[in-house]
Structure 1
Amino acid sequence: MKKTALLATAAALILSSMPLSASAAETAAYKLSIDNRTISFPDAQPYKLGSDVMLPLRQTAQALGLKVEYLPASKEAALYGPAGTAIVKSGSNQARLADGSPIEFGADAAVKSNRMFVPLSFFERALGLRTAVQEDTATAAIFTPEQTEAVVRAIVERLVAGEYQQLSDLYFDDTMKQSVPVEALKAGWEQTTATSGELTGTQVNQATSETPDQQQFVVQLSFAKAKAILSLNLNADNQVSGLWLKPIAEQAETPASLIEEEVIVGEGTKYPLPGTLTLPKGASGPLPAVVLVHGSGPNDRDETVGLAKPFRDLAWGLAEQGIAVLRYDKRTYVHGQSLTPDMLASFTVKDETIDDAVAAAKLLKADSRIDASKVYVVGHSLGGMLAPRIDADGGDFAGLAILAGSPRTLWEIIADQNAALIAAMDDGDPAKAANEALVAAEFEKALALAGLTDEEAKAQTVFGIPAYYFKEMDSRGADQIAAKLTKPVLVLQGEADVQVYADKDYVQWQEALKNNDKASFKLYPGLNHFFAKSADGKVEAQVVQDIADWINRP
């Protein structure tokens, strides 16, 4: 039997006739909340025992709508529902499911004042319900699947209505409030939906969750002109601990002049990544080739953002100029759900990006159709920042193209991006000053990164990101590595980019590469972070042409 929540079918039966006499030591009185509704118990109060909360079985089951029966022969209690049966006995911390399989929970079930009590963890582990202990209010909380889905729908309704502040106040946990300010939430939603039209329908699907205290939901959003996916993580208190919005761009047919092959980057390793190799059809002789390296976040191989697919545009455009292009799904896109909190605390750009980009370069160089001496890296945003390090750590490329990258530290850029969002807020908004103070405090923490030990960095965050991620990245700064480059480097920047800046990042690349006579630079008026003229636009043809000319130069 699948260990999921038992659904309501009938009134619970009284267990007061159970001839048991053991008792548990009460350490603190607690309340019970089911779906945020406080449940009253006239004669059997919940109490804290160790790290668990003991609940009267009959009354709690009754409040959940489950049928309960005492089994005199075995001195056990059985809970029934359409999903199956769970049987528990006083003095044991194991329940028996309908198929006979045992499942452990926390403290032993016990009898107190002629009532059977079971720990809150019984309802989580044996019945599959979501639970939480809220110490500040001395409350044991249980959430049913119906209530959790209602929370997800309420979140969607707030987004659609533009009630961003209320959404943050009511549903975000503390980390989300810090890492996703209201203005950023507003900008992300409105940028994504600007060209999508009216919302016409939603479909909520629960995804597989690694732990019961983190539930994952995928909401399919249908708009008049497009579709999108909203991914949500809810913690044990039904608060949002993670939120991602990904529009689904219309699929386009591969140009007839090209062929595309499915490949695996890092095949045989712990983190294999599906990818696509694009080649000009009928090309003869070894081809020059490009590895495309993504920006921040869990990107797919097309680096889909909104309705744009910049990596697909680059792959098709360059392949039409006789250049093979390899693009692949990022590690955090494919394997992100397998990363535990402990793993994320020590996660670095080496794990996230560098190792996989090096593996992609080796895959290309091993292909007999590719000229191994003419394999280039084209890194976008974070991928551009890391291009010099990828090259130094085993990529060994013929040249580096840096698109909207930066030689500055990542935390500096995040601070600038937050400052820009805050500056756009109304001066009368009381949240503006609070957000300014928050960003200033996080910036001060970032300035102290170099003085932290690795363990200290792993125990704290900066701008909502594990501090060790920044500390390790800072130890191999892009400007330091780039300054030593003597091979060809192409730096491209959109003048209208509001994520990295022409007057800061582009200028600093020129300074870092001033001694490299093979470095070239181009600034594009009117182009954004994705080298398009609009959020849902294609990469401009001139950008593709400039990269192709640089690679195919004599």
Structure 2
Amino acid sequence: MKKRIKPIIASTLALSMAIAAPVPSVLAAEPHQAAAPASAESTAVKWVPLRAIAEALGATVGWEDETRTVTLTRADTSVSFSYLNLGEAKVGGASADLSALVKLDGDTTMVALDALNGWFGSRVDWESGKLTIAPDDHVSRAYAFVTALNRGDSASAHSSLSPAMASTVTPELLQSVWTGNFTAFGRVKSVSQPTLSENAVHRNVKFVYKTELMASLELTVRFDEAGFVDDLYIARIAEGSPEYRSPEYEKPGSFTEEEIVIGEGPMRLPGTLTMPVGEGPFPAVVLVHGSGPNDRDMTVGGSRLFRDLAVGLASRGIAVVRYDKVTYEHSFKSGTLPNFTIQQETADDALAAVRLLAGDDRVDPERIYIIGHSQGGFMVPRMLELDTEGRIAGAVLLAGPSSSFQDVLLEQNEELLRRFEQLRLPTDSIKQNVELAKDIVDTIKNPQYDKDNLPADFPLQPAYWWFEMRDFVPMNVAAGQSAPLLIVQGGNDWQVPVRQFEDWKKALKDRTNVTYKLYPNMNHLLYDFDGISIGNEYGGAFNVSSELIGDIADWIESDPS
């Protein structure tokens, strides 16, 4: 629930190796079908400049004059040869004869194109001084994209963007964000071999970087179906995070999982539908994220809150939809929208998921529920308002704030200070945060400002996001609604303190279809923690409380609608 400054991709653009030797490229070219690596027996060799192509694809090329040795390195790829003896070259640590595949043309090292493609596992071509890359050679295209930004060729980098991304990001903005973040994280010390994955929306190339100022950073370049860069995402990798473990209440074989797409258009989202095995139609739920750019599993450290909820509820015969949040899957595009709202961040996609379930014959259309965690719970009354077709049968609020977002911002910082004092920990920085939160709240509540007249230098960006929902108080809206609710709260939650739970009770005291449950030791991540939670435990590997899973399933099975 703790609101962070929304990045334009505040860390995404800091990365990759510094590379020189500009080379024009055409990333949208028709696929070039590379042949098998050339050999000495090849009769038709296409010679291309090694340095220009290799550096454009993210490699470093070195030259040792005394031994006339060329070295080429990129992550796990390594090639080394000396012009004094091309028959004893090294490719990936193994001996190789490159006498028929490498030659010197004046001062330029030329290499057989098929050999180069074989070393990199790429499918590139070279015509008239231009590099072309097959649309589905995503790794090469990712390397070429970050290389262009590193050498300041913003026009080339921008030309590789998808229409959806290019419409919100100018070349100047793309380059300035990249350059600014490069200095923020320090010199790159090493980069891993990239990994390629895909979901229902994007093909993703992921790099892990070691930098001077950060231990590990994970950069993901997302591609659309046509091979254009459609978004970028950065994550700081916590060193030593434990592995996730499946919960005991998961019953393999009692459900299946399938990849789905939520919504339509350029901001559609990939997701997972967890469907019970057996005869339906089944009741179903949509899981709605808290604050931050979260994946579909709500991965935090070694925990996966939404996966636990999905498999736990599906094991009880309840279908579950979870999906990658728009600020995770489309972080750059959403971060550059000037009037991006909490409705776009949280509500719209949840309602699209509800519509998807309503059209599935395996789902009971009269028993579709939403489960909102933290910010997702905060937005439950808004989602019920927007559900004009009445598809939502009820909702579960997991640590959902009852007051305005700015009020809970202050309250969570005051609660954290109280806990630091209780634990006798240093409080200077926490006190500073409390004072900053007070100033922010005063500014938000100042009547001279609104969403159309934003204060200059507002410390939480985008400012429009905050002022657009300034007057939304979920408990006041819910008081006039009729959909049944299950409101759940952890007594060990500092991010949404128990006072918010008590305020729900007061505001909804006249409603008869609201159920409340307080779990004394449960923290904000929905598992029991014996100590005083201040967030330090979030990096561990824990599972959502089995009692909570059972209570939600019981409530849904009771058909509260």
Same-fold call, TM cutoff 0.5:
yes
> 1:275 — aligned with what?
271
Greater RCO (CA < 8 Å, at least 6 residues apart): 2
After superposition, the Cα gap between the structure-2 partners of 1:435 and 1:261, relative to the gap in structure 1 and judged at 3 Å, is closer
- 8 Å CA contact 1:298, 1:331 repeated in 2: yes
After superposition, the Cα gap between the structure-2 partners of 1:205 and 1:2, relative to the gap in structure 1 and judged at 3 Å, is farther
Amino acid at match of 1:258: F
Give the alignment partner of residue 549 of structure 2, picking from 532, 544, 547. Answer: 544
SS of equivalent to 1:398: strand
User: What do the CA deviations read for 1:136-187 (whole angstroms, capped 9, x no partner)?
Assistant: xxxx999799935489633235xxxxxxxxxxxxxxxxxxxxxxxxxxxxxx
SS of equivalent to 1:485: coil
After superposition, the Cα gap between the structure-2 partners of 1:274 and 1:514, relative to the gap in structure 1 and judged at 3 Å, is same
Matched, 1:446 2:444: yes
> 1:494 — aligned with what?
490
Q: Distance in 1 between matches of 2:462 and 2:181?
A: 29
SS of equivalent to 1:456: coil
- 8 Å CA contact 1:9, 1:81 repeated in 2: no
SS of equivalent to 1:290: strand
SS of equivalent to 1:156: coil
Amino acid at match of 2:549: V
Matched, 1:363 2:356: yes
Matched, 1:125 2:153: yes
- 8 Å CA contact 1:294, 1:383 repeated in 2: yes
> 1:385 — aligned with what?
378
> 1:309 — aligned with what?
304
- 8 Å CA contact 1:264, 1:272 repeated in 2: yes
Shift of 1:406: 1.0
Amino acid at match of 2:454: A
User: What do the CA deviations read for 1:286-305 (whole angstroms, capped 9, x no partner)?
Assistant: 11111111111111111111
Matched, 1:482 2:478: yes
Query: Structure 2: 5+ residue runs without aligned partners?
Result: 1-22, 26-55, 65-106, 111-125, 132-148, 158-171, 173-179, 191-208, 224-230, 530-537
> 1:528 — aligned with what?
523
- 8 Å CA contact 1:6, 1:81 repeated in 2: no
After superposition, the Cα gap between the structure-2 partners of 1:440 and 1:221, relative to the gap in structure 1 and judged at 3 Å, is closer
> 1:256 — aligned with what?
253
- 8 Å CA contact 1:422, 1:435 repeated in 2: no
After superposition, the Cα gap between the structure-2 partners of 1:459 and 1:362, relative to the gap in structure 1 and judged at 3 Å, is farther
After superposition, the Cα gap between the structure-2 partners of 1:292 and 1:318, relative to the gap in structure 1 and judged at 3 Å, is same
Query: Structure 1: 5+ residue runs without aligned partners?
Result: 12-79, 84-96, 103-120, 133-139, 158-201, 227-247
> 1:147 — aligned with what?
187
Report how many aligned residue pairs link the two structures.
370
Q: Distance in 2 between matches of 1:431 and 1:295?
A: 25
- 8 Å CA contact 1:483, 1:512 repeated in 2: yes
Query: What does residue range 308-457 of structure 1 map to in structure 2 within 5 Å?
Result: 308-341=303-336, 343=337, 345-394=338-387, 396=390, 397-422=392-417, 424=420, 434-448=432-446, 450-457=447-454
Amino acid at match of 1:313: D
- 8 Å CA contact 2:404, 2:471 repeated in 1: no
After superposition, the Cα gap between the structure-2 partners of 1:324 and 1:400, relative to the gap in structure 1 and judged at 3 Å, is same
After superposition, the Cα gap between the structure-2 partners of 1:262 and 1:461, relative to the gap in structure 1 and judged at 3 Å, is same
After superposition, the Cα gap between the structure-2 partners of 1:99 and 1:142, relative to the gap in structure 1 and judged at 3 Å, is farther
Query: What does residue range 165-244 of structure 1 map to in structure 2 within 5 Å?
Result: 208=221, 223=240, 226=242
Shift of 1:477: 2.7
User: What do the CA deviations read for 1:394-427 (whole angstroms, capped 9, x no partner)?
Assistant: 2731111111001111122222233344553889
Q: Distance in 1 between matches of 2:305 and 2:59?
A: 47
- 8 Å CA contact 1:458, 1:468 repeated in 2: no
SS of equivalent to 1:457: coil
User: What do the CA deviations read for 1:219-262 (whole angstroms, capped 9, x no partner)?
Assistant: 65663x73xxxxxxxxxxxxxxxxxxxxx635789712111121
- 8 Å CA contact 1:387, 1:400 repeated in 2: yes
Shift of 1:488: 1.0
Q: Distance in 2 between matches of 1:427 and 1:264?
A: 46
After superposition, the Cα gap between the structure-2 partners of 1:215 and 1:277, relative to the gap in structure 1 and judged at 3 Å, is closer
> 1:29 — aligned with what?
none
Q: Distance in 2 between matches of 1:143 and 1:82?
A: 33
> 1:289 — aligned with what?
284
After superposition, the Cα gap between the structure-2 partners of 1:207 and 1:529, relative to the gap in structure 1 and judged at 3 Å, is closer
Give the alignment partner of residue 298 of structure 1, picking from 273, 293, 305. Answer: 293
Amino acid at match of 2:296: R
Shift of 1:99: 5.6
Q: Distance in 2 between matches of 1:146 and 1:288?
A: 51
Percent of aligned pairs with the same amino acid: 32
Amino acid at match of 1:366: G
Query: What does residue range 24-173 of structure 1 map to in structure 2 within 5 Å?
Result: 124-125=152-153, 147-149=187-189, 153-156=211-214
Shift of 1:531: 2.1
Q: Distance in 2 between matches of 1:141 and 1:310?
A: 31
- 8 Å CA contact 1:289, 1:371 repeated in 2: yes
Shift of 1:470: 1.8
Amino acid at match of 1:546: D
Amino acid at match of 1:390: M
The structure with the larger Rg is 1
Q: Distance in 2 between matches of 1:548 and 1:431?
A: 41
Amino acid at match of 2:439: A
Q: Distance in 1 between matches of 2:509 and 2:347?
A: 25
After superposition, the Cα gap between the structure-2 partners of 1:539 and 1:441, relative to the gap in structure 1 and judged at 3 Å, is same
After superposition, the Cα gap between the structure-2 partners of 1:2 and 1:510, relative to the gap in structure 1 and judged at 3 Å, is farther
SS of equivalent to 2:317: coil
Q: Distance in 2 between matches of 1:306 and 1:550?
A: 29
Shift of 1:215: 10
